[in-house]
A and B are shown apart, each in its own frame.
Chain A
Amino acid sequence: MKLTLKIWRQKNAKAKGTFVIYKMDNVSPEMAFLEMLDSLNKKLVEEDKDPVAFDHDCREGICGSCGMYINGHPHGPVPAITTCHLSMRYFKEGDTIWIEPWRAKPFPVIKDLIVDRAAFDKIQIAGGFISVNTGAAPEANSILIRKKKSDDAFDSAICIGCGACVAACKNASAMLFVSAKISQFALLPQGRIEAKERVKAMVEKMDEVGFGNCSNSGACEAECPKQIKLTNIARLNREYFKAY
């Protein structure tokens, strides 16, 4: 396939970025999207040019690193997958592909397509954990948990913190991420003990780092590669009201 890539290039956090056009020949439909970028970078290195910087790690859809905004969608136009799972067979001969970094004030661009997602870490550090003594793992059946609850908690816990929800939201709101992190604990008895402190601290941090407000438009749910549901946001709201 012949493709035209329009990629955001920005030397560093302070530099002014711009889109650079790259013509790609011989792109195989069997390639993964990141492999296609790898082949572009190989070409750029051979030409002694600066390769395109982009985040990637596991390439198995579970680390949440490979966030980039492709043709108007976080992780590209195919629902429920991360960029690393995006195959080139979803594009056709002659396509133009726009590739942009996540755009949100709390996610400043570090270089090209890489953004600093430390804002998510700050929210997690504020309360996204359970305080336990380290030591031997407790007996799994000592606290019985209803199957439905444990399934729901698991569905929230599969959030990989990639930031697609923020990238998709017209307000750059982090409510879906925070609600998943709140829900995975709020639904389980072990998480109830610190539920109030957790929700207060995480919401406060979310606001402090500069994310926008939720408009309940549902773009986050539509674009989440792990299909985290809006019901989590309603639960976050309930947990927040209960905490006061």
Chain B
Amino acid sequence: MSKVLFSSISKKFVMALAGLFLLTFLPVHLIINLMLLKSDPEPFNEAAHFMATFPLVKIIEIALIGAILIHIGWGIFLQIQNWLARPVGYVSGNKSETSFFSRFMIWTGASIFTFLVLHFFNFYFVKLGLVAGNPEDFYSLAHNLFKIPAYNYIYLVCFSLLGFHLYHAFSSAFQTFGLNHRLWTPVVKVVALIYAIVLPAGFAFISITLWLFR
């Protein structure tokens, strides 16, 4: 049994499954964040309160953190195996035509993780009471954060990298599940491109609006 669980294909399957689960959360997060654009803090704070207290969300939250840990853990493990599989590299480099963003998944992933740590310190740990702040007023907290230029720079860079990560991840997950089709794979790639642009652009739009226009 351990052979099947820890085979290269199974590890990739679990990685892809956890990754896709995380992908479903991003649009929800974006919709809630869009409420930050309203001048009335109530809708956003209510949504944040709902996400913090509703029992079903609590269960999903645990699954989400589990998915993050699995995705990161397996990602690092697979990457180390990949590095070990080629102890001596090529002097003339690798000039093969490949999916460009697939080459940097570990690094774009690491950047997203770094941002996630920052994000947890700013919001999630406040919610848990581990870091000082008012968990009932995330609206003001977010607005204040987006007034700091450095935070916006980090935010925009990280969301660009998230877009690069998502573009390869989305279509790659289907291939890992064994779903490669003459007609549908190109469609999946277009959907991946749209998803990878629209989601980060949505978050960036909020950041830039709050930073420069509020």
Contact = CB atoms under 8 A, between A and B. Distances in A.
With most chain A CB atoms within 10 A of its CB, the pick from B89, B95, B105, B177 is: B95
A98 interface: yes
B103 A170 contact: yes
A204 B175 contact: no
Given A69-B90, A213-B8, A217-B103, A234 B178 contact: yes
B101 to A, nearest CB: 9
B93 to A, nearest CB: 5
Interface string A206-221: 1100111111111100
B24 interface: no
Interface stretch (A34-42, A53-61, A100-108): A100-108
A20 to B, nearest CB: 13
B4 interface: yes
Interface in B102-148: 102-103, 105
A100 to B, nearest CB: 6
A203 B85 contact: no
Task: Give the size category of B's interface with A.
Answer: 35 or more
A98 B66 CA distance: 46
A104 B84 CA distance: 9
A237 B90 contact: no
Interface in B33-88: 78, 81-82, 84-88
Nearest to B171: A216
Contacts of A98: 91-92
Contacts, number: 132
Interface residues of A, number: 49
B95 A214 contact: no
Contact of A103 (B13, B88, B95, B98): B88
Interface stretch (A70-78, A85-93, A124-132): A70-78
A68 B20 CA distance: 38
B160 interface: no
A100 B88 CA distance: 11
Contacts of A231: 180, 182
Contacts of B3: 204
Given A216-B176, A234-B178, A222 B96 contact: yes
B98 A222 contact: yes
A19 interface: yes
Interface in A191-230: 200, 203-204, 206-207, 210-219, 222-223, 230
B175 A77 contact: no
Contact of B9 (A72, A222, A237): A237
The 8 tightest CB contacts between A and B, nearest first, are A72-B95, A234-B180, A212-B85, A238-B178, A217-B102, A171-B82, A98-B92, A237-B178
Interface of B: 3-4, 7-9, 11-13, 78, 81-82, 84-99, 102-103, 105, 168, 171-172, 175-180, 182
Given A72-B96, A213-B81, A237-B178, 20 more contacts: A6-B91, A69-B92, A71-B92, A100-B91, A170-B86, A171-B85, A172-B82, A175-B8, A204-B7, A210-B85, A216-B172, A217-B98, A218-B97, A219-B94, A223-B96, A230-B180, A231-B182, A237-B9, A241-B13, A241-B178
24 contacts: A70-B92, A72-B90, A100-B92, A105-B86, A105-B87, A168-B94, A170-B82, A170-B86, A170-B94, A171-B82, A171-B85, A203-B7, A207-B7, A207-B8, A211-B8, A212-B82, A213-B82, A216-B168, A219-B94, A235-B180, A236-B9, A237-B178, A241-B13, A241-B178
Interface of A: 6, 19, 69-74, 77, 98, 100, 103-106, 168, 170-173, 175, 200, 203-204, 206-207, 210-219, 222-223, 230-231, 233-238, 240-241, 244
